[in-house]
Amino acid sequence: MSGFWSARRVMVTGGAGFLGRHVVERLHAAGARHVFVPRSAEHDLRDRDAIARALRDGRPDVVIHLAAVVGGIGANRANPGRFFYDNAIMGIQLIEQARLAGVEKLVTVGTVCAYPKHAPVPFREDDLWSGYPEETNAPYGLAKKMLLVQGQAYRQQYGFPAIYLLPVNLYGPGDNFDPAGSHVIPALIKKCVDARRQRLPFVEVWGSGAATREFLYVDDAAEGIVLAAERYDDPEPVNLGAGFEISIRALAALIAELTGYRGELRWDASKPDGQPRRMLDTSRAAERFGFRARTDFREGLRRTIEWYEAMPAAGTPTAAVPIQKGAT
């Protein structure tokens, strides 16, 4: 521990969500003694006055903004207006109120969905503006992307120390397994576990299976966020990822193997694949603040499956929003 966190008060929006809980744990492990998590019942971050009240209540030196309304492809297609408005208004007003409150540093956690649909792989931060995002999650991705613009503008005009991180798709224990809003890994785990228990002959999977994704274990993501908050203070966005890609077809086969499901994986090509490929260049995070993902993907999946199967009511829907991060 460097002593950096012991001397600072921290506010973590979305700190009770999937990623947020891990970030809060990481902060405590790093020596933070004052971590404030505003809850939506008392502090609705879509409301300017509620944000100002949260900042008065928490009196933070550092704000880590994780709160988001998120979901998989289906949720994004069903709620484009909500996903745009809620994510944009929360971030825009939080950054402004944090500036007015004299916050020492603000960390905005964006999304890989901000990248153009056909960005060169691996995605480099300099390619962020080279095209339009994948259509099914563009409203969400663009809403989060505007917070990068705002942070850079505030740094330029006011000297406000805002940084912006771009994590790839996350997974791990505590993820959202509700089919109405879950992402691909928890959705596949639930389908395979349910099918194994019910002895179903096949599991239906959306798309062709040809799309690729990169996944970052949630503990690794939390470590990267806390390291960046302590060590990074530049306007350029920074990717957080694991530096590999896997096809959805290979992912589904791996999850079926690890869950013990032996039935057929049946692909519904009438459903969208989402972005064709997704993999980040992670060199900037390594160079600027020493972050490298450490969790082996197969081991991370095994831990996630074990956590899910150990839940007293595995398969019971959990709250879909607000949690963080990513689309498919």
Catalytic residues, which ones? Answer: 140
128: which DSSP letter?
T
- CB-based contact 328:111 (threshold 8 Å): no
Buried b (16+ CB within 10 A) or exposed e, 170-181: bbbbbbbbbbeb
Q: How far apart are CA 103 and CA 16, in angstroms?
A: 21
Nearest to 259 by CA among 170, 190, 317: 190
Q: Which residues contact 188 (CB under 8 A, 6 or more apart)?
A: 203, 205, 251, 252, 255
> Which residues have C-beta within 8 Å of that of residue 7, sequence separation ≥ 6?
none
